[in-house]
Amino acid sequence: GENVEQHPSTLSVQEGDSAVIKCTYSDSASNYFPWYKQELGKRPQLIIDIRSNVGEKKDQRIAVTLNKTAKHFSLHITETQPEDSAVYFCAAQGGSQGNLIFGKGTKLSVKP
């Protein structure tokens, strides 16, 4: 089955710097790759997603890139702000039932 690896597990940046989180997946049939932000005790919140027929997608300060050949995708956050501090999860979705397989998460800390 699908396996998603996520790095780094923790990331600390200064406010205004960029943050990059990387994920790899194993199942070439996966065709949808969402990124979730989770604050303590809350549900995962979708922040951006990308489908397998697209290489890059951007939404204001957040962008995601996908390399299907290498089976990896990355989240880029520019001009980070303290409120960006949270745990970020990547996921891969595929198969007929569309189950999401999550990475282990990255705890992002943005220092003012």
Partner 1 sequence: EPEVTQTPSHQVTQMGQEVILRCVPISNHLYFYWYRQILGQKVEFLVSFYNNEISEKSEIFDDQFSVERPDGSNFTLKIRSTKLEDSAMYFCASRPDRAIYGYTFGSGTRLTVV
Q: Which residues bind partner 1 (CB under 8 A)?
A: 32, 34, 36, 41-44, 46, 49, 51, 89, 91, 93, 95-105
- Select from 33, 2, 3, 6 the least CA-distant residue to 105: 6
CA atoms of 20 and 1, how far apart (whole Å): 26
Closest separation between CB of residue 43 and partner 1, Å? Answer: 5
Strand partners, 93: 32, 100
Question: Toward partner 1, which CB reaches closer, 21 or 101?
Answer: 101
Closest separation between CB of residue 65 and partner 1, Å? Answer: 18
Closest separation between CB of residue 14 and partner 1, Å? Answer: 25
Question: Toward partner 1, which CB reaches closer, 5 or 17?
Answer: 5
Closest separation between CB of residue 40 and partner 1, Å? Answer: 10
34 preceded by cis ω (within 30°)?
no
Burial per residue of 48-78, b for 16 or more beta-carbon CB atoms within 10 angstroms, e otherwise: bbbebeeeeeeeeebbbbbebeebbbbbbbe
